A and B are shown apart, each in its own frame.
Chain A
Amino acid sequence: MDMYAVRTLRSQPLRLMLTIGGIALCVILMFFLFAVYRGAADGSVEYIRQNKTDLWVLQRNATNILRGSSLVSAVQGRKIQQIPGVKSISPVLFVLAAIKKGDRDRTVFLTGFDPEKNIGGPPYLVAGRNISHDNEIVLDKSFAAKFRFKVDDHVEIQEHSLRVVGISTGTNAFVIQYAFVTVRFLQKMIGFPGIATCYLVEVDEGNTLAEISSQIRRELPRLEVYDHETFLENNIQEMKSGFLPLLYTVAAIGGIVLTVILSLLLTVNILERRKDFAVLKTLGSPKGFLRWLIIEQALLISSAACVVALIVFFPLVQMIEKISPEVSTKSTVEQIIVVVIIVEIMSLISSFLSIRRLRSIYLMEAFL
């Protein structure tokens, strides 16, 4: 009897195509949101994930670098270095700064680090090399693509001219992109020599992180210490708290639109074929049989929409990334499976909403 489900849908091809198209758009929206989220999630915290140090030391009450401010002075840095068991420290300074492009300023998350320490820099380089001098800068790949910067170009930050020596990835935090300069240059640029946002601390072998952390807190009570995993998790949570509500809201709207479109089609189908349903009821159709017909139709349409969405999604994303390189997406099989499951659940809800219409079809209608 699933032929009935298929054939009744096929009998109105334009309506069926429009419905599948509408639902496919909702599915694409969900795929896209998940992909942007994953891309932004990776881009936001990849810097921290790849700069694997033993301890991150920040100003007290600062828990992350994405949406928190922290200032640690050079004096505090020297005190950390003097604590027994601390092998090395590396200052990192984060500043929101504008890069001049033509007559417009483009904001970047300027990250100052000490290139000699080999930590605190870009996670991956896809072109050029890392910085080694104060007049050099590494730009994020999507930022460079968007504003057409390439290696050996010069960028202007305030009155300073810096040469682009490398292009990095894993540094696109969706709303902003990282750029890397020496910490000395950045301190000079903002006019606070010795200032840092945080210190990356490596501990001598034979010392536990807990011991060193306690010692730093004791010696420097105005600072906070995190091990790498905790600090990474703090930043992930911060990113999620800013991003996920938006993601869930838009995804929920997509899901509701999908459910409404599908319910409408199924309900119109039932109403148009109420005589058929009345005949089937009169002939002795069990309730479950008719309900299953509607569920089959819902699942058929949503599955077709998922296939269409999958075919369209990847070329569409490539096009979007070409037009807006700062939109960095990442799709995984798990994400796609989750979206497909959500869509199938929504289609089941649509069918349950439409099934209620069956109740209003009376057996007598077959005789009228």
Chain B
Amino acid sequence: MKKLEDLKYVVRLSEVSKIFGSDEHKTVALQNVSCEASAGELVLLLGPSGSGKTTLLTLIAGLLRPSSGTISLFGKNIESYSAKMLQQIRAMRIGFIFQTFLLIDSLTVQENVGVVLRFNGKTRREAHRHAFRLLEQFRIEHLAKKFPRTLSQGEKQRVAVARAIANEGDLIIADEPTGCLESKQGFEIIQLLKTYSKDQNRCVIVGSHDLRIEEFADRILRLEDGILRESA
């Protein structure tokens, strides 16, 4: 697998379609989508609910296989990765931010961040220390021992970003990260992701219907009914 600096594109999709079901029950979620994203870029995947954003993000992460077309992830056709390799890629090179953050309620903030480091091969103690350092960077170390249910939306959002970048992944995939936030918090999370992509030269792909965050994007891909309408 190629290193980030050797790659022209972190992700590249060529004529990708995704169809769920078959015959009269089939749903075309994506149709002939071609696009790419590079290191140092924040790519905004813009579209209304049901436009196929989440499907596209999950295809990029290797969580789904395309019905047709090719997806190149880190310089290799995604079909050539085994399930085990995709799991390792997700653990080591991809960070995720979910719409409602999906922090694990039974774990403390520090454990929530530390868990991805465990998947990355760190020992429990190393993961614990590293997670705390990360929380310090985000100035939320005072939340380390708290449980997600006691946090505000803004605090959850910071923990989710900390978790997404904990493994210093080359690619961050964020699905509607501002969906349940007020505009100030929404801008803050996009700003954090933008900073990460620029400072660390990483690729960030954000799926959203929130037009207010357009200004932060390096590139905008507009999706409608599974079809990529324009690329700006």
Contact = CB atoms under 8 A, between A and B. Distances in A.
B118 to A, nearest CB: 6
Contacts of B94: 284
Contacts of A276: 104-106
B102 A284 contact: no
Interface residues of A, number: 22
A118 interface: no
Interface string A1-17: 10110011001000000
Interface string A261-301: 00000000000010110011011111101000000000000
Given A8-B106, A279-B102, A284-B94, A367 B57 contact: yes
A284 B90 contact: yes
A366 interface: yes
Interface in A340-368: 363-364, 366-367
A289 B88 CA distance: 13
A366 B98 contact: yes
Nearest to B93: A284
A301 to B, nearest CB: 16
Given A7-B107, A279-B98, A1 B118 contact: yes
A1 B117 CA distance: 11
Interface residues of B, number: 32
Given A283-B115, A285-B91, A275 B102 contact: yes
B106 A284 contact: no
Contact of B124 (A1, A273, A363): A1
Given A1-B124, A289-B118, A364-B58, A282 B107 contact: no
A7 B145 CA distance: 14
Interface in B99-146: 99, 102, 104-108, 111, 115-116, 118-120, 124
Contact of A366 (B92, B102, B105, B119): B102
Contacts of B118: 1, 289
A287 B83 CA distance: 11
A315 B126 CA distance: 46
A293 to B, nearest CB: 11
Given A1-B115, A367-B58, A367-B98, A284 B91 contact: yes
B54 interface: yes
Interface in A1-37: 1, 3-4, 7-8, 11
A-B complex: 10 closest residue pairs judged by Cβ atoms: A284-B91, A284-B90, A7-B106, A363-B63, A284-B119, A279-B102, A8-B106, A367-B54, A283-B116, A276-B104
24 contacts: A3-B106, A3-B107, A7-B107, A11-B106, A279-B98, A279-B102, A280-B104, A282-B96, A283-B91, A283-B96, A283-B115, A284-B89, A284-B91, A284-B92, A285-B87, A285-B115, A285-B119, A286-B87, A289-B118, A363-B63, A366-B98, A367-B54, A367-B57, A367-B63
Interface of A: 1, 3-4, 7-8, 11, 273, 275-276, 279-280, 282-287, 289, 363-364, 366-367
